[in-house]
Structure 1
Amino acid sequence: MAEFFAGIGLARLGMEAAGLKVTWANDLSAEKLNMYLGNFGESAAEHYKLADIADIAKDPGSYAVPKDLDAAWASFPCTDLSLAGGRKGLAGKHSGTFWNLIEILKKLGSRRPPVVALENVNGFATSHQGEDLKAAIRALNDLEYSVDVITLDAKSWVPQSRPRLFLIAALCAPAQEEFDSPLLRPRWLDHVFADSGLTTHRAALPAPPSHLKSGWTSIVENIPSDDPRWWDEKRMEKFNEQLSSVQLSKISKISSSSEVCYRTAYRRTREGKPAWEVRTDDIAGCLRTAGGGSSKQAVVRIEAGAPLRARWMTSVEYARLMGADEYILPTRASQAVMGFGDAVCVNAVQWLTEVYLVPLIEGKLAAK
């Protein structure tokens, strides 16, 4: 199994739990490499290539990109799909690394992997009115791959709202199967499969677990009330000042419970002023990184008759929300937060590998 763009190795955790072995990995970040080696041992440095994928694409052989693998996994940056990235899509500097992957596959020739899995945000499906997604599918079609497109949300397994899009490309596609699970292939993907100019397939898959509606409070790290990570009185006064009447009403409803509740919050700019917005449900918001242009996520403690308490989310909580409870965390919390915010939920990768990638590799997927 190969990862062309491996992140911090959470994809590897899910793949290996499902029976696939990672034999080659790549990322540009030295900090992610350090996290990877901290979990998988110094021997993992033999297969982890710290390099720009653009350089690897120029000469895959120089970076020992293996041939005759069963599958390749690639996650490419979503920065250029957002407003902060100018919505340049696949023409952008970051999201454009997709084309480097295509170049690597081309140079592998007839020895390219029979299965390729790509991951990105759901916004990839609507970037440039859907043309970026179609361009990616056509590029894979040119390499004789048929492509399936599905979406999974981490909250099928963990209390985090984290929808992601997956392209599953196969040289030998499974038989076409109509499947109506809105969790896998919602209607906004219909136009892809209806396009006669694209070679696509819809594999017969089970529906993923139903989305969780609660669970965040139960996995919040138990931090003593006198821990300095909780914001002091002055900072909490400012936090409260930046809560709108709508937010205060939401918090009041939550505090009506006899239980201590935790919610997550993001700092936004509303009408030119900073404002805090608190989620009403017991699900964490999507974990992000400062590098992606989004603010960090705060944890708010709500208890009837008690003042609000707040702090930044910890690296332990990041790990739990990514299904990586046993992941060895670096000493510096910001390193873990950056890495996990860029990663793919372990549970989603494991499910996808077990029900789709491995059966596809083994030729066991077929229409009923």
Structure 2
Amino acid sequence: MFLKSILGEPLDSQMEGTVLTGAPPAPGPISKKHFTVVGMFAGIGGLECGFHQHGHRSVLLCDADDRARAVLANRFPKVQISDDVRTVGKLPDCDVLTAGFPCQDLSQVGRRKGISGPNSGLIDVLLELLRKARPGPAWLVLENVPFMLSLDGGRAIDRIATELEAMGFMWAYRTVDARSFGLPQRRRRVVILASRVNDPRPALLGIDARAPLIDKRGVHACGFYWTEGNTGIGWAIDATPPLKGGSSLHIPSPPAIWFPRRRLIGVPSIEDAERLQGFDPKWTEVCGEDARQARQRWRLVGNAVSVPFAAWIAERLQHAGEYHSDDEPLLTGTRWPSAGWGCEGQRGRSTVSEWPVARPQQHLASFLSGVVKPLSRKAASGFLSRLERSTLRYEEAFRLDLHHHIAVHDAAEAS
């Protein structure tokens, strides 16, 4: 199974991460017990897969999307599934509460209505469930997009942090790139870890690997968004840009990939998109659906939490110890950093990188196992037209290969 292969035994040949200077050299485990987990806004179960990799057990999953619930029912057949966080009423007893809460109002390419928007504002329902829970979970794990740290001056993270502090929680957050786990997808996400009984900083901030130096393109495949081309293209060397739920027109769509050696502009299969998120291929497949319904798999995969990312969080919950650092105070009114914390009435800025570990990188071209479908002529020509009219910088070889790709389409149609 792919999940087992990508999340197998720790590498002996290299350090996956380095314990930060001043921290205990080998933090001991909090407990080896298996946690019970409740997953709100569960999507297709990315967080749950990661926790299950470490033997933890889900007792309730909740998501409002019919298609996502069909996946959850198929993949977690023994777990209770709810369709609306607003009707849950009461949290069941659990050790961990997870929530990849809606990002539509917090995303850079979304509506930008902020934390009070109709979708992202559902975090208030979750916090109210947490407030009423007795005794409540030992851990809270939240996940969302990094833009929440800067939108409206960081109002979203400040509001969540303030609410957690009012409930007696210690909290820490960190921006993490999925590439640190070896997947060839540039995917930055913020994880917020909070607890009333455990200091979350050793678990989340106590290890760091730092990002490797960026290689030159060479002959590596490069991912980009064919739906864009006016102000940006999401360029990624030897990786795809973040898989997303849809284009700016809300059309579920894969990224495109330029293969310089083959002069091909193609798109990955949905099964490879699932693998890019750490799922087994066909994870989102539901028997009996038609082609139109199957297109929604792209939206589900784009909105999912990366499984290796979730598994790393689950594993780090086992680590305790004191937290020693030279972190500076996080002052009110200042810009929110990419990582920070709140503990014992104080807030701090962390200098950890977005790479907590550095697992061997898989090259994008060799990672793909499915058939790469050539990008359609219409899509390629539309993107090229927008790109050439823009002021964006791009390689001439890329532009020429786009023209070549279109010419191949024209020749095939003429023959």
Task: State TM-score, norm by structure 1.
Answer: 0.68
The 8 Å contact of residues 265 and 277 in structure 1, kept in 2 or not, is answered as yes
> Hey, what does 1:205 align to over in structure 2?
206
Which of residues 310, 327, 331 is equivalent to 2:265? 310
Conservation of the 8 A alpha-carbon contact between 1:81 and 1:127: yes
Checking the alignment, whether the CA contact within 8 Å between 1:203 and 1:365 is kept in structure 2 is: no
Give the alignment of 1:270-289 within 5 angstroms.
Answer: 277=233, 279=235, 281-289=237-245
Partner residue in 1 for 2:85: 53
Query: Cα distance, 1:32 vs. partner?
Result: 0.8
Q: Percent identity, please.
A: 23
1:5-61 residue CA offsets vs partner (Å, 9 max, x unmatched): 2110121110011232111110001111111222233x33xx111x222233xx33x
The separation in 2 between residues aligned to 1:167 and 1:13, in whole angstroms, is 18
The RMSD of aligned alpha carbons is 2.9
Paired residue secondary structure (1:96): helix
In terms of mean alpha carbon deviation, does 346-355 or 86-95 score higher? 86-95
SS at match of 2:208: coil
Within 1, Cα distance between the matches of 2:309 and 2:239?
17
Matched position secondary structure for 2:142: strand
Alignment of 1:97 with 2:122, yes or no, is yes
- The AA in structure 1 aligned to 2:102 is P
Equivalent AA in structure 1 for residue 267 of structure 2: W
> For the residues of structure 1 that align with 2:114 and 2:214, how far apart are their CA atoms?
32
2:92 equivalent in structure 1: 66
**Change in 2 beyond 3 A, CA 1:270/1:263:** closer
Gap change, CA 1:213 and 1:348, over 3 Å in 2 = farther
Specify the code of the residue in structure 2 equivalent to 1:325.
D
Distance 1:327 1:156, change over 3 A: farther
Q: Which amino acid aligns with 1:282?
A: D
- CA distance, structure 2, for counterparts of residue 335 and residue 107 of structure 1: 35
- TM-aligned CA distance change 1:100 to 1:280, over 3 Å: closer
Q: CA deviation at 1:92?
A: 0.3
Three-state SS of the structure 2 residue aligned to 1:358 is coil
Q: 1 or 2, which has the higher helix percentage? A: 1
1:218-229 alignment runs, 5 A limit? none
For residues 199 and 185 of structure 2, the distance between their equivalents in structure 1, rounded to whole angstroms, comes to 32
Question: Contact between 1:159 and 1:213, CA under 8 Å: does it hold in 2?
Answer: no
| Letter of the structure 1 residue corresponding to residue 257 of structure 2 | V
1:154 corresponding residue in structure 2:
178
Matched to 1:131, the amino acid is R
Q: Is 1:80 aligned to 2:105, yes or no?
A: yes
TM-score (normalised: structure 2): 0.60
Q: Which amino acid aligns with 1:101?
A: L
Q: Cα gap change, 1:203/1:173 in structure 2, threshold over 3 Å: closer, same or farther?
A: farther
- 1:163, CA displacement in angstroms? 0.6
Choose which of 127, 137, 149 in structure 2 pairs with 1:113.
137
Instruction: Please say if 1:343 is aligned against 2:304.
Output: yes
Structure 1 runs not aligned, ≥5 long: 178-201, 215-252
Distance 1:175 1:48, change over 3 A: closer
CA distance in 1: counterparts of 2:213 and 2:99, whole angstroms: 27
Q: How many residues align?
A: 280
Match for residue 25 of structure 1 among 61, 65, 75? 61
The aligned residue for residue 171 of structure 1 is 196
Is the Cα contact below 8 Å between 1:268 and 1:276 reproduced in 2?
no
